[in-house]
Structure 1
């Protein structure tokens, strides 16, 4: 064992040296508690499916090398990768990624999601923390547009990624718990108790791509009503057909109108919601690139899960046909 890479409620991830293969690896060590052991066995089943269906890993999902049971701890062995995209953003003071890197991230991520959806699998916890860089080596460059022109920003040299953490992944035919996804990336149908399926992953991808573009999470909240108010501030009113299909429509809506703010809503919450900008002011459609990017993200963040673009459809979007030399000329007014 070399060093601790991370830890959570499930257990720890440790960098280890494999004496047989003579290479470094990452081992996820699950706590010796029955519910976590059972969950890890489901994760192993999912990971084995991913590897069997894509042995050469052309779909950028983490591959399970091996697993074993040690003193009642399930231990899963993975390739050693770089840091998460969230950790890279944090180390880079949450500066946005360059457009061509966002395009490459988006293409890989959608490729992974299309692959798992084709296997009748829903990830349910897509977020920057669960996207690892294969190699996080970067170069320093002067940060254009920063308030201090002498500030240097880190630019990734390799944007290859792996999608990780299939601990919450669910096969479409299996039991669906009522609440899934980390709060900031949770789709409206989950909040409203309408049931969920593949489109909830697409909503998460839309939130992630906006975060890559701005450097900040789109919906930074911890409460359902405030979350819905933020969605309305960015995406417009929740359609009547969606509010009517909520499990308890009266909890959040009054005749289709969101019940926000209430008497209990803090001034800080109201101030924060008022400060949010509509999506087309966050992604200003002033160039071919931003117009296409806005269109793609808008289709991912459709309120109605039945109208949300699929991963396979998204991969055919004009955003992925963009020529970045043309984009550079547009910026220079050429």
Structure 2
């Protein structure tokens, strides 16, 4: 229900100074200091699609947010001979910033918004960033300041508001229809606001206290705009179905506590959880997770998505931002030989790997209308890019990308051009199968030549883009199969990332994969 929201840093440090086990050294950074990812704003455009019944539909297309220009994709980074049990963050200097390429992609979009990249300066404490959510969904892109505006609170209505807010209390909305958050505001005569957790295109998420139970909850407050209100009611329907079919939450999807209409804003109340996995990676300098944690995440995610698929529901926007930790608690272990001159670096290790799958604003029932483009770029399946239609296998592909990201710390594919994306996929996964390529050539002939060969590079393709694709590594080089754990993990990911959705492993089949049955001892 709740798109990605961030908690303030880490709230607990129970074992922050305890020494951890020894880990093989990793090489120090070369050249310039490693910077944190640059920050970008969301841009989006509105288009119309005609469904199979001839009905005109308004669709909100969220444009891709450029990837961090100073963080290199694991597919294009050679990290040398590291320990099999510990994959360090990428420390070598980037070969090129992708800000220019991202700007060119943005210039071609229909959006009026412009991506603004801050200048490359000496490393500073980063500001909040927003990564692009997918089609028709609410996405809270970043952690907001905990200090709410010190303005006067207003009295809330005791019953649900109607669409007519011209009378009664002063306006509680800004000019874009977002609910204005103030300290100790009473929402629906029951929830007292504590702080703003995040804000996105579709609305805001706040932490609040339920004055009836004294429990802390998260409330997603949708913008008072008809199209966003309508979309939120679809999400409510999905969340109610999930809770009905899994009241004990064995499948670890976010549970809807309550929903209501407050001063013309649809509000969705859920349990208050920890930060999203992307934010944990970011706070941990994009260090990869230990292998036993990756296995624990894989079991939970595959189980959650298999549950959705049993209900004939496709999530369509699986990504680390939409996976929340139940708790942020962690311990700190030293990584030797990592810092300057062979020093040490502190690495955060989660105390608990319990997670919840969130954000069903883009979820689609198999029998209902499928929008043309879904999924955030980095996790988008090839059949979506080629316009071949999509179904349950697109979720499996996204999970494959996510698992690789857990293993390396950074996104597998970082490009914003469809043809370059497909070319990188071929470098990572091998050539497209003939049958799939022929179908793609019929749907998107501009991407192919001589029948069904990918037309890469184009005559006007920049040299750097060609170099990026040529340097992209095969999946077996990213996940080196040098021990049984890696061999089984590689096999699972290869099956999830199969080009042809007809031959891609299903999430239910993946749950029976031997990788999930082996015992992986703690390594950090």
Rounded Cα–Cα distance in structure 1 between residues aligned with 2:336 and 2:356: 29
Q: Deviations over 1:92-147 (max 9, x none)?
A: 01000000000000000000000000000000000000000000111110125635
Give the drift of 1:89.
0.2
1:165 and 2:359 matched: yes
2:515 maps to which residue? Answer: 319
1:56 maps to which residue? Answer: 248
Structure 2 unmatched runs, 5+:
1-192
Q: Per chain length, whose mean CA-contact separation is higher, i.e. which structure has more relative contact order (CA < 8 Å, sep 6+)?
A: 2
1:285 and 2:518 matched: no
- Mean alpha-carbon deviation: is it higher for 301-310 or for 245-254? 245-254
- Mean alpha-carbon deviation: is it higher for 30-39 or for 166-175? 30-39
Rounded Cα–Cα distance in structure 2 between residues aligned with 1:31 and 1:144: 48
Alignment of 1:66-215 (within 5 A): 66-143=258-335, 146-147=338-339, 148-215=342-409
Contact 2:210/2:217 (8 A) holds in 1? yes
The one of 214, 218, 225 equivalent to 1:26 is 218
What is the SS of the residue equivalent to 1:245?
helix
1:10 and 2:222 matched: no
Give the drift of 1:251.
1.1
Structure 1 unmatched runs, 5+:
329-334
Give the drift of 1:239.
1.6
Give the drift of 1:267.
2.2
Rounded Cα–Cα distance in structure 1 between residues aligned with 2:393 and 2:515: 20
Rounded Cα–Cα distance in structure 1 between residues aligned with 2:460 and 2:268: 46
2:416 maps to which residue? Answer: 222
CA-based RMSD: 1.3
Give the drift of 1:324.
2.1
* Residues 157 and 317 of structure 1, relative CA distance in 2, 3 Å threshold: same
Contact 1:142/1:149 (8 A) holds in 2? no
What is the SS of the residue equivalent to 1:76?
strand
Q: Deviations over 1:286-332 (max 9, x none)?
A: 0000000000000000111011111111011110111224x97xxxx
Rounded Cα–Cα distance in structure 1 between residues aligned with 2:307 and 2:335: 36
- Higher helix content, 1 or 2: 1
1:252 and 2:444 matched: no
Runs of 4+ in 1 over 6 A off after TM superposition: none
Query: May I ask how many residue pairs the two structures share in their alignment?
Result: 327
Bigger radius of gyration: 2
Contact 2:334/2:344 (8 A) holds in 1? yes
Alignment of 1:227-238 (within 5 A): 227-238=421-432
Rounded Cα–Cα distance in structure 2 between residues aligned with 1:38 and 1:149: 55
1:332 maps to which residue? Answer: none
The alignment's TM-score, normalised by the length of structure 2, stands at 0.61
1:43 maps to which residue? Answer: 235
Contact 2:337/2:344 (8 A) holds in 1? no
What is the SS of the residue equivalent to 2:407?
helix
Contact 1:243/1:249 (8 A) holds in 2? no
